[in-house]
Amino acid sequence: MTNVGEKRVRWALLAALLALFAQLALAAPQLSFTYDEPIYTAIGYADVTTGDFYWHGVIGHGPLINILTAWPLLLGRFRPDVTQLSELCP
Tell me if 50 sits within 8 A of 83, measured CB to CB. Answer: no
What amino acid is encoded at 47 in this protein? D
- For residues 40 and 62, the answer to whether their CB atoms sit within 8 Å is no
Could you report the per-residue pLDDT of 13-22, keeping only the tens digit for each? 999 999 999 9
pTM for this entry: 0.54
Cα–Cα distance list, 41 to 44, 60, 65, 72 (Å): 5, 15, 9, 10
Q: What is the pLDDT of residues 32-79, one digit of tens each?
A: 667 777 888 888 888 888 888 888 778 777 888 888 888 888 887 877
